Amino acid sequence: MTPVEIKKGIYWVGAIDWNMRSFHGHTFATKRGTTYNAYLIVDEKITLVDTVYGPFAGELIEKIRAIVPLEKIDYVVSNHVETDHSGAMPEIMKLCPKAKVYGTRKCKEGLYKNYYGNWDFQEVKTGDTLKLGKRTLTFIEAPMIHWPDSMFTYCREEELLMPNDAFGQHLATNTRFDDEVDQCALMEEAAKYYANILIPLGDIILRKLDEVLKMKVPISMIAPSHGIIWRKDPERIIKSYVSWANNETKKKAVIVYETMWKSTEKMARRIAEALTDSGVEVKLFDIAESDRTEVIKEMLDARGYLIGSSTHDNDMLPSIAALMSVLKGLKPKKRVASAFGSYGWGAGATASIEKELKGAGIEVVQEPISVKYVPDKSEEKKCYEFGVEFAKKCI
């Protein structure tokens, strides 16, 4: 694949990873693959903004060579040290050893501890600029969006923001722009990315967006480091980020459970019926059969979470325990929750789930419901009533 000119003299020189199915050490299922976006700016000074994951270094080099010889690169901007964007740095720096690397202080530390390269590194802070010729780059530190080293790079003359991971999506396509892809898939992947990586960082994101807006920088294009480039409507993704970071939710509940012999599942279905009859949108998942990344994505705009498990060894089952561990890390705010489950001789699962929910900072608004063995008709009715009551909390 050849480079793609995204603005006059600015090229996408990244790589498409069609087969990537699990990211971040299997914490993120990437069913649509991903891309690693790098950008080459051809001006009086030739500048590469970010690289790609190491196994794709050859593709990056080939694309750059189609535009300029590698040794002509003057500057390499490293917005983020994580290996999916810096993995090709050693190969690149071998081919343009005189290039100066720009990044934050944490980026300098991180690059060294990953690659031990003796590169000419210029630390930058928010507001520092780099004159390329006709264009000037402005750097904006963005710590914890999503690593301490993270940074945005902005080109005022082109109204182009290159924010690395922010506003990205794990979406492998042979087209590069937002107006060229299926819109449902695009927003689904953008939401999935936010939900699974950025939920705990909402307050930091809001402060950073506010800071960028106060800088009064016009933005006509956002070119992230994963997925498509926002050129038709960059405001759309900014507005979505503001909404997600503000924890705006709707009248929706996610019911997620794990079941041994289908009794907990029976409870889940009665509860789902009650929520549906009460006008609440419901998503129901058997976690053992579901993509956890997808479940977390559905939790992004849901007000209520109902977590169920059969009791096993006086505790919850292992797949639901893994979900609770993820929720404890994400700490979603302004949500309400409760627990349910069937047991044989001791109801330990619901108590454990309640404890984990509280540990995740999620308000448990209703006493959990437990049923011994298989729910009979009166217990099914109690599950339904439990759902009706929870529906009132999902507004």
DSSP letter string, 34-79: EEE--EEE-SSSEEEE----GGGHHHHHHHHHTTS-GGGEEEEE-S
Q: Which is nearer to ligand FEO, 226 or 292 (CB)?
A: 226
CA–CA separation, 281 and 237 (whole Å)? 24
Q: Which position has the token pair 């290996």? A: 83
Does residue number 297 form part of the binding site for ligand FEO (CB under 6 A)? Answer: no
Q: Which one-letter DSSP state was computed for residue 263?
A: H
The tokens describing 138, both together, are: 């402005």
Please, what is the minimum distance in Å from the beta carbon of residue 292 to ligand FEO?
19
Neighbours of 345 (CB within 10 A): 9
Q: Which of 295, 283, 289, 282 has its CA nearest to residue 317?
A: 289
User: What type of residue is 64?
Assistant: I
**Which are the contacts of 314, defined by CB distance < 8 A and separation ≥ 6?**
346, 348
Does residue number 108 form part of the binding site for ligand FEO (CB under 6 A)? Answer: no
Q: Quick check: is 170 catalytic?
A: no
Q: Which of 80, 298, 379, 384 is catalytic?
A: 80
Q: Could you give the string, one character per residue 127-166, with x where binding to ligand FEO holds by CB under 6 A and - elsewhere?
A: -------------------xx-----------------x-
**Which are the contacts of 171, defined by CB distance < 8 A and separation ≥ 6?**
32, 33, 34, 35, 181, 185, 186, 189, 226, 227, 228
The tokens describing 333, both together, are: 């705010």
Please, what is the minimum distance in Å from the beta carbon of residue 3 to ligand FEO?
20
Range in contact with ligand FEO (rule: CB under 6 A) among 65-73, 82-90, 122-130, 280-288: 82-90
**How many amino acids of this chain bind ligand FEO (CB under 6 A)?**
9
Q: Which of residues 4-63 bind ligand FEO (CB under 6 A)?
A: none
Q: Which of 24, 44, 71, 120 is catalytic?
A: 24
Does residue number 85 form part of the binding site for ligand FEO (CB under 6 A)? Answer: yes
Q: Quick check: is 165 catalytic?
A: yes
Does residue number 80 form part of the binding site for ligand FEO (CB under 6 A)? Answer: yes
Range in contact with ligand FEO (rule: CB under 6 A) among 79-87, 282-290, 320-328, 375-383: 79-87
Does residue number 82 form part of the binding site for ligand FEO (CB under 6 A)? Answer: yes
Range in contact with ligand FEO (rule: CB under 6 A) among 77-85, 274-282, 329-337, 387-395: 77-85
Q: Which of 234, 223, 161, 248 has its CA nearest to residue 4?
A: 223
Does residue number 263 form part of the binding site for ligand FEO (CB under 6 A)? Answer: no
**Which are the contacts of 184, defined by CB distance < 8 A and separation ≥ 6?**
none
- What are the counts of helices (DSSP H) followed by strands (DSSP E) for the chain? 12, 22
Please, what is the minimum distance in Å from the beta carbon of residue 162 to ligand FEO?
13
Range in contact with ligand FEO (rule: CB under 6 A) among 76-84, 131-139, 188-196, 312-320: 76-84
Q: Which of 17, 43, 59, 82 is catalytic?
A: 82
The tokens describing 161, both together, are: 């923001």
Q: Which is nearer to ligand FEO, 80 or 297 (CB)?
A: 80
* 101 three-class SS: strand
Q: Phi/psi at 90 (nearest 5 deg)?
A: -55, -40
Does residue number 192 form part of the binding site for ligand FEO (CB under 6 A)? Answer: no
Q: Quick check: is 146 catalytic?
A: yes
Q: Quick check: is 116 catalytic?
A: no
Half-sphere exposure in the Cβ direction for 118 (13 Å, CA)? 0
Q: Which of residues 216-255 bind ligand FEO (CB under 6 A)?
A: 225-226
Please, what is the minimum distance in Å from the beta carbon of residue 262 to ligand FEO?
40
Q: Which is nearer to ligand FEO, 176 or 270 (CB)?
A: 176
Please, what is the minimum distance in Å from the beta carbon of residue 355 to ligand FEO?
31
Q: Which of 50, 84, 189, 356 is catalytic?
A: 84
The separation between the first and the last C-alpha atoms of the chain, rounded to the nearest angstrom, is 49
Q: Which residue is nearest to ligand FEO (CB)?
A: 82
Does residue number 84 form part of the binding site for ligand FEO (CB under 6 A)? Answer: yes
User: What type of residue is 57?
Assistant: A
Does residue number 264 form part of the binding site for ligand FEO (CB under 6 A)? Answer: no
CB 299, CB 305: distance < 8 Å? yes
Q: Quick check: is 193 catalytic?
A: yes
CA–CA separation, 257 and 97 (whole Å)? 54
Residues with active-site annotation: 24, 80, 82, 84, 146, 165, 193, 226
Interface residue list for ligand FEO (CB under 6 A): 80, 82, 84-85, 146-147, 165, 225-226
